[in-house]
């Protein structure tokens, strides 16, 4: 069932179905466009409509109640042919704008411009480059190039895709020439940019006249009739039978188009947010702005004009592609006509100008921002170091907290990257310990703490490790005078695997496991602790050793200084390693019981 409508043609009413009306309207519109720039063109179109009305009358007299699309197609082809256009009296003088043929000058028949005028009699026309939306997969660029230069559009598409694989930087080139990777990517990106640029600059073959020019055919009533009668893209009979490869291109093209539309929507929201942000900054109270980030707003005040210019230029750079994408979307759903070539070219020139200006402004601004950021960072670093310097030595906050809580004080720290570390504690857990490192073996480090001791005999032990000789655990009473005794023991250089602590724990654990397996043996309370030491670092240990200084006997109360050092003035040895670690210092009184 088809919907019929009634039209008024030259004061006469005709019943015509909807499809036939659309075809007739396209034809008459194309004729009006064709004759619009010719003298007497309106009269010619009126004559054609009169001829169409006469043919409609003949159909009504023949018993046709409603005119169908088949009737309209037949009438279009009859009207489009010069020999069937009109039957005129030979004695009628030519209308204004008509031309005579050779036979007319000899007194024979007269003809209108539609019957053999210059346009109607010309041969192959001059091709023009258009985007062909009737056979597009994405923007119709390759289809338009195929129509202009010749060749099957499928080969154009396959050739374009093959460039991504065969050009330097493509998949095949990367298999053999790895050096082409970086600049080859630029070539592939250039292909995409070239396609998009052609899609922007090439006009769309949207009207029958454009499609004829794209094919290189003369624009005359006969060819217009043939072109109008061709199924439109939405009416193509082979739609749905495009084949596997055609279906692939259709799906990819559709996905890409809708992805670009999604990008356009995102850009629109970005523009809106940028405009709202600019307005908010311009209208926000001055004091409120500066309280949020004083350092940034100090820079903002200094370069306010440049920042606003750069922001406006960036918004302009986003605005044009956003408008073009949204316009293309509404054209896709037939709510707007395509932009003309002049409009697209103007937008492209304006966008390039805005892009260059934005790039120049932003480059200058980035340089100023980096310079201001560097100065700000230097000021913050200077203040940070000042706030975290104690007794002339800079500490990281977590290191100062750890050392000060335990009474440790760094006396010398030349070429030291750090004073503490964590992650390789002898049990494998994350406990923090004294640690220092310098890859060039230059550090001179001394860390010490003091305790007041009553008369008696004492023993000092510690867990230590190192990757080179020259690090010592030391102790002395009161001061370094000539009469003072300095107790010292060198830290074993077992690096960060093994160690006596690990070997002892592994031996004790294995002995306990053996005794437990034979029965009648209870595992001691420190069994899990021994297992943690033995299994640390994938059962290899972290190189920790427990060392002890010689027993120290004091006949009176003294202040004992003890710690660890690589300073030759204290150790009487050269430091040959890069790092050492120390933890779990224990000072015990070992007086013999009487």
Count each helix (H run) and each strand (E run) in the chain, helices first. 21, 15
Q: Alpha-carbon distance 207 to 253, whole Å?
A: 23
Residues 253 and 401 in one domain: no
Q: Alpha-carbon distance 351 to 323, whole Å?
A: 12
Q: Is residue 103 part of a domain?
A: no
Residues 11 and 159 in one domain: no
Residues 307 and 180 in one domain: yes
Q: Alpha-carbon distance 159 to 142, whole Å?
A: 10
Q: Is residue 491 part of a domain?
A: yes
Q: Is residue 528 part of a domain?
A: no
Residues 486 and 566 in one domain: yes
Collapse the DSSP code of 563 into the 3-class scheme (helix H, G, I; strand E, B; otherwise coil) and give the result. Answer: strand
Q: Using an 8 Å Cβ cutoff, are 305 and 365 in contact?
A: no
Residues 80 and 178 in one domain: no
Q: Is residue 92 part of a domain?
A: no
Q: Alpha-carbon distance 94 to 97, whole Å?
A: 8
Q: What is the pLDDT along the chain (594 residues), one digit of tens a residue?
A: 567 788 877 777 888 888 788 888 877 777 777 776 666 667 777 777 787 887 888 888 877 878 888 887 777 777 764 434 444 444 444 444 444 433 333 333 333 434 333 344 344 457 788 887 777 777 788 888 888 888 888 888 888 878 766 665 554 444 444 444 444 455 667 777 777 777 777 787 777 777 777 877 776 666 666 666 566 554 444 444 455 655 666 677 677 778 888 888 888 888 888 888 777 776 766 555 555 556 666 666 677 777 788 888 888 888 888 888 888 888 777 788 777 777 888 888 898 898 898 888 888 888 887 887 788 788 888 989 999 999 889 999 999 999 999 999 999 999 988 999 998 999 887 789 999 999 888 889 999 999 999 999 999 999 999 999 999 999 999 855 445 688 999 999 989 999 999 999 999 999 998 888 888 788 888 899 999 999 999 999 999 999 999 999 988 899 999 999 999 989 999 999 999 999 999 999 997 654
Q: Among the three residues 364, 386, 408, which one is the final residue of a domain in this structure?
A: 364
Residues 248 and 319 in one domain: yes
Q: Is residue 93 part of a domain?
A: no
The tally of domains found in the chain comes to: 3
Q: Among the three residues 30, 59, 86, which one is the final residue of a domain in this structure?
A: 86
Q: Using an 8 Å Cβ cutoff, are 153 and 244 in contact?
A: no
Residues 328 and 223 in one domain: yes
User: Rounded to two decimals, what is the model's pTM?
Assistant: 0.48
Residues 66 and 153 in one domain: no
Work out the number of other CB atoms within 10 angstroms of the CB of residue 439: 10
Residues 416 and 338 in one domain: no
Residues 571 and 485 in one domain: yes
Residues 52 and 140 in one domain: no
Q: Among the three residues 23, 58, 86, which one is the final residue of a domain in this structure?
A: 86
Residues 360 and 428 in one domain: no
Nearest to 489 by CA among 475, 472, 468: 472
Token pair for residue 19?
């499809």
Taking the CA atoms of residue 480, residue 483, residue 484 and residue 488 in that order, the dihedral angle to the nearest 10 degrees is 100
CATH number at residue 491: 2.60.120.260
| Positive/negative CA dihedral, 106, 111, 112, 116 | negative
Q: Is residue 506 part of a domain?
A: no
Q: Is residue 373 part of a domain?
A: no
Residue 253: which domain range? 133-232+242-364
Q: Alpha-carbon distance 193 to 251, whole Å?
A: 21
Q: Is residue 106 part of a domain?
A: no
Tokens 């060749």 map to which residue?
151
| Positive/negative CA dihedral, 439, 441, 446, 447 | positive
């Amino acid at each position: 069932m088809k919907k019929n409508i009634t039209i008024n043609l030259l004061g006469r009413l005709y019943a015509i179905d909807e499809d036939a009306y659309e075809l007739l309207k396209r034809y008459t519109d194309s004729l009006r466009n064709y004759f619009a720039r010719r003298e007497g063109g309106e009269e010619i179109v009126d004559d054609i409509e009169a001829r169409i009305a006469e043919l409609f009358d003949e159909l009504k007299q023949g018993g046709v109640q409603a005119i169908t699309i088949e009737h309209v197609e037949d009438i279009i082809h009859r009207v489009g042919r010069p020999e069937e256009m009109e039957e005129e009296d030979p004695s009628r003088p030519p209308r204004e704008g008509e031309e005579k043929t050779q036979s007319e000058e000899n007194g024979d028949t007269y003809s209108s411009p539609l019957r053999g005028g210059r346009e109607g009699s010309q041969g192959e026309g001059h091709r023009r480059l258009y985007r062909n939306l009737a056979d597009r997969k994405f923007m119709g660029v390759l289809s338009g190039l195929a129509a202009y230069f010749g060749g099957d559009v499928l080969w154009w598409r396959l050739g374009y895709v093959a460039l991504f694989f065969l050009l330097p930087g493509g998949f095949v080139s990367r298999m053999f020439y790895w050096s082409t990777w970086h600049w080859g990517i630029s070539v592939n990106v250039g292909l995409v940019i070239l396609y998009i640029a052609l899609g922007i600059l090439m006009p769309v073959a949207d009207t029958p006249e454009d499609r004829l020019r794209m094919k290189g055919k003369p624009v005359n009533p006969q060819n217009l009739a043939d072109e109008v009668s061709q199924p439109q893209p939405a009416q193509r009979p082979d739609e749905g039978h495009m084949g596997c490869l055609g279906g692939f291109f259709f799906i990819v093209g559709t996905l890409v188009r809708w992805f670009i539309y999604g990008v356009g929507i995102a850009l629109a929201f970005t523009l809106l947010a940028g405009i709202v942000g600019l307005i908010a900054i311009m209208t926000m109270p001055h004091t409120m702005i500066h309280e949020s980030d004083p350092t940034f707003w100090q820079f903002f005040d200094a370069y306010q004009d440049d920042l606003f210019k750069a922001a406006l230029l960036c918004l302009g750079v986003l605005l044009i592609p956003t408008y073009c994408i949204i316009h293309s979307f509404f054209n896709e759903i037939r709510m707007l006509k395509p932009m003309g070539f002049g409009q697209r070219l103007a937008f492209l020139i304006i966008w390039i100008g805005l892009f260059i200006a934005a790039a120049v402004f932003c480059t200058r601004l980035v340089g100023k921002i980096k310079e201001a950021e560097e100065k700000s960072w230097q000021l913050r670093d200077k203040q940070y170091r000042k706030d975290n310097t104690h007794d002339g030595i800079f500490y990281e906050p977590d290191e100062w907290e750890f050392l000060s809580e335990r009474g440790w004080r760094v006396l010398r720290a030349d070429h030291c990257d750090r004073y503490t570390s964590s992650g390789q504690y002898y049990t494998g857990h994350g406990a923090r310990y004294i640690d220092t490192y310098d890859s060039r073996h230059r550090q001179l480090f001394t860390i010490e703490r003091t305790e007041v001791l009553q008369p008696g005999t004492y023993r000092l032990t510690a867990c230590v490790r190192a990757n080179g000789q020259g690090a010592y655990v030391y102790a002395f009473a009161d001061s370094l005078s000539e009469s003072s005794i300095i107790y010292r023991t060198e830290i074993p250089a077992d690096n960060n695997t093994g160690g006596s602590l690990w070997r002892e724990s592994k031996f004790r654990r294995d002995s306990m496991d053996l005794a437990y397996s034979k029965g009648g043996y209870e595992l001691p309370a420190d069994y899990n602790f021994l297992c943690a030491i033995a299994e640390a670092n994938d059962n290899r240990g972290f190189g920790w050793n427990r060392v002890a200084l010689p027993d120290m006997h004091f006949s009176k109360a003294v202040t004992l200084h003890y710690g660890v050092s690589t300073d030759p003035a204290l150790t009487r040895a050269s430091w040959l390693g890069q790092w050492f670690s120390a933890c779990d210092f224990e000072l015990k009184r070992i007086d013999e019981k009487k």
